[in-house]
Amino acid sequence: MSRSAAWDHPRTSLYTDHYELTMLEAALHSGAAHRRSVFEAFARRLPDGRRYGVVAGTGRLLEGIADFSFGEEELAFLEQTHVVNKETLEYLADFRFSGDIWGYPEGEVYFPHSPVLIVEATFAEACILETYILSVLNHDSAIASAASRMTSAAGTRPCIEMGSRRTQEESATAAARAAVIAGFASTSNLEAGRRYGIKTVGTAAHSFTLLHDSEREAFEAQIASFGPETTLLVDTYDVETAVRTAVELAGDKLGAVRLDSGDLVAQAQWVRELLDDLGNTNTRIVVTSDLDEFAIAALQSAPVDSYGVGTSLVTGSGAPTASMVYKLVSRADDSGQFVSVAKAAKNKASVGGRKYALRKLDHHGIATQEIVGIGQRPQDDGNDRALLQQFVKNGELLPGWIGHEGVMRAQERHAASMLELPPVVNRLQRGEAAIPTVYEEY
């Protein structure tokens, strides 16, 4: 599997757990490594109280699988540390994924037991991808799920992702990407902008004001550099004084003021009144300060124009993982016939068989059930929607799923999927999944 990259990307083959390779070695020894197998990624449950999840990370995952190979450095490390034997090293030296990958497109909503990703390949090929698949999907889907709740609470007001300083650097880039998929309008993260063509924004922090001998001098410098349409941070000292100074310097063309502390509801209301009284009816108000979906919902009645969200977003707003698992659900027997297999452990059982997913819609186009067919596609009543798309065929990445195109496609899919769900998804109160998942076995 190969792709053309927009930026240099390292090999991803060691972003895995040691035991993936010990299983590979043992399977090569037994002769079972080359059995055709079907693995499935899914979540047994949603985070406590959530009504839906959002798939994200698939594009990043596909980019990473294209780079999942073992070069001289990786092989030398495995040999020197005695992770695997010589036979396994020889297998890994030639490793390239050659199977098929299906899944829910990025931006799609999912529910408990939705077959979010299906990998069809030899056991060896599918097995060693497990850790990488789960690390990407669990992180990005958690961020997108939180972001979706925030954009839902924000309504038509745009949200800005600005959480890079609250997480690890690669996670920050991934989080920005996931947030945009779930409806965020822009990010502060420049690497996300470079890789994925996402809109980036940013003005100034409190340190910029403190650097200057007065707030007035700081505002003058910013306006001189970026024009009166810039956004000025007005709560370093006294908010009212700062707003009056900003209007005096920028006039009625002042783009926005940013509030980053205090009672944001009350403060936004009187700042709006002050701006209007000063003739700046078109100057917008941006609020930041540790916002989450609940704070955004509380600001619905306030005269706020946009929200900047950081810590709560990049930590999944209380659910930092989507808790997805990756299980073998079907494999070929000695005769080459596929047999269903499933884990039976208490509270961790899986359902065997290759899955096919359909979203059942009523005559208004609103989702009522997630139908998962085992071994065969569920019957379409004519108004239903198939959920699985193919991403990789015989090891070749199919077009449209990565880069900027993939992000924009995912953003559109998310918006369409949310419109398809019952109104209960807009409630932030704890509750069950918005629609049930039903298995149909054939």
* Sequence spans of domains, the chain: 18-128+323-441, 156-318
Q: Write down the pLDDT at residue 4.
A: 45
Q: Write down the pLDDT at residue 5.
A: 46
Calpha distance 150→308 (Å, rounded)? 11
Calpha distance 398→390 (Å, rounded)? 8
Below-50 pLDDT ranges, the chain: 3-7
Partners of 284 in the beta sheet? 256
Q: Write down the pLDDT at residue 137.
A: 98
On whether the CB atoms of residues 250 and 203 are closer than 8 A, the answer is: no
Class of domain 156-318: alpha beta
Please report where in the chains the tokens 């009166």 appear, as a residue: 228
Calpha distance 129→66 (Å, rounded)? 11
Q: Read off the pTM.
A: 0.95
CATH architecture, range 18-128+323-441: Alpha-Beta Barrel (3.20)
| Angle (deg, nearest 10), helices 58-66 and 403-420 | 150
Please report where in the chains the tokens 């997805």 appear, as a residue: 324
- CA-CA-CA-CA dihedral for 336, 339, 343, 347, to nearest 10: 160
Q: What is the pLDDT of residues 373-417, one digit of tens each?
A: 999 999 888 889 999 999 999 999 999 999 999 999 999 999 999
Q: Write down the pLDDT at residue 31.
A: 95
